Amino acid sequence: MTGFRYKSSIRLLPVMISFLSVMIASSAAFGSAEDEHMAKLIEQAKQESKIVIYTTQSVRDSSRMVEKFTEKYPFLKAELYRAPSNTLMNKLNGEAKAKRYISDVIEIPGFNAYYLKKDHLTASYISPESRAFTEGFKDADGYWTATYVLHYIIAFNTKLLARKDIPDNYEGFLNPKWRGKIGLFDAKETEWFANMLKIMGEEKGLDFFRKLSNQELAYRGGSSLMTDLIVAGEFPLGTVFPQAVEDRKKKGAKVDWVGVAPVIAKLGTIGLASHASHPNAAKLYIDFCLSREGQAVLVECERFPARSDMDVEKFKALKALKIYPSDFALADKFNTYSKQFAEVVKWKKSR
């Protein structure tokens, strides 16, 4: 029997060698094609000499990314326009109506990326770097790819609560003991609400939110403000993004965060403007932002990178959780979800 196995192995050896040769050749060919792609982009981007980036990221974070990019490609002059999502969408729609196209790259979070694709304001570009992004974190047609992720998590004041006190799922917050103790950072966070209904099932989800609204929720605008109020002890816990918590923790604040199921991920996206004047410089920038080098810049800025092969120690707890990337197709019913959300949570503007 031993001899038979030995002879079989000998016979299989040429097949194995052939297979390995094909794999090595394929890998080399792929690497060569990628190098050729990059060389061509650089050559053409040099001729364009400029790039215009529209973004919703903070001035600090977007400037840092542009700084690193232009250090690597000093032949490009980068112009940066930063605005909140609504302002940026209005600007893009206004420019399109006037047929006055300025942007080359558009960075915007959430459902807005879906609207840009639907309105033909972004173009398809499948970056070689997109291989490292899993399904749900990139558009199948190449109209957008996530650069960073905003996870909806629960922050808590560590002087008032321990991690073991926090329920494992949102239904746990229906317990009467949580009445008047829960902060919701924005009762207009329709994208989160729409995804919660999809995951829970619409009927069950609406019933859950009606019951949750009876818990005397405290509404405040924005993750940063909510985190600061939790640190101050105004209420012991609330929904925020983990970046804000990590920033306060670094400064010594008594606050921490935990993922409560279901953990929904809002995506910060990047896309090629459909009428880019500097398309090759734009593609070069998109490739850079999606590369490990560019994603490391986001980590420096306390953002969670969307690239699947990035390990970030401070956010390692998220790796163990089931994450639901936001389903952008839900944007088609945005007005319906927005109306439902306002009705079930009985939202009133905070005093």
Q: For residue 88, give the 3-state DSSP assignment.
A: helix
Domain annotation covers residue 10: no
Q: Is there a single domain that holds both residue 50 and residue 74?
A: yes
Q: Is there a single domain that holds both residue 229 and residue 336?
A: yes
Which pLDDT does position 335 carry in this prediction?
96
Q: Is there a single domain that holds both residue 337 and residue 204?
A: yes
Q: Is there a single domain that holds both residue 227 and residue 162?
A: yes
Q: Is there a single domain that holds both residue 300 and residue 212?
A: no
Side chain identity, residue 258: V
Domain annotation covers residue 15: no
Is 248 in contact with 227 (CB distance < 8 Å)?
yes
Which pLDDT does position 344 carry in this prediction?
87
Domain annotation covers residue 259: yes
Average pLDDT per consecutive 10 residues, the chain (351 residues; last block may be shorter)? 48 57 50 80 96 96 97 97 97 97 97 97 97 97 97 96 96 96 83 97 96 91 91 95 91 96 97 98 98 96 92 79 95 95 70 33
Q: Is there a single domain that holds both residue 162 and residue 79?
A: no
Q: Is there a single domain that holds both residue 105 and residue 242?
A: no
Q: Is there a single domain that holds both residue 332 and residue 210?
A: yes
Q: Is there a single domain that holds both residue 160 and residue 254?
A: yes
Q: Is there a single domain that holds both residue 248 and residue 277?
A: no
**What is residue 169's DSSP assignment?**
B
CATH label of the domain that carries residue 304: 3.40.190.10
Domain annotation covers residue 11: no
Q: Is there a single domain that holds both residue 208 and residue 160?
A: yes
Contacts of 179 (CB under 8 A, 6+ apart): 214, 215, 216
Domain annotation covers residue 237: yes
User: What pTM was computed for the model?
Assistant: 0.86
Which pLDDT does position 319 carry in this prediction?
77
**Number of domains the chain contains:** 2
Q: Which residue has the tokens 């609330």?
A: 238
Domain annotation covers residue 351: no
Which pLDDT does position 4 carry in this prediction?
43
Which pLDDT does position 19 carry in this prediction?
54
At 201, list the tokens: 């099932």
Q: Is there a single domain that holds both residue 234 and residue 332?
A: yes
* Diameter over CA atoms, the chain: 85
Gap between the Cα atoms of 147 and 286, Å rounded:
9
Is 238 in contact with 183 (CB distance < 8 Å)?
yes
Side chain identity, residue 127: S
| 2-48 and 279-290 helices, crossing angle to 10° | 140
Domain annotation covers residue 6: no
| Boundaries of domain holding 66 | 28-149+271-310
Which pLDDT does position 182 carry in this prediction?
95
Say how many C-beta atoms besides its own lie within 10 A of residue 262's C-beta.
17
Gap between the Cα atoms of 308 and 137, Å rounded:
9
Domain annotation covers residue 180: yes
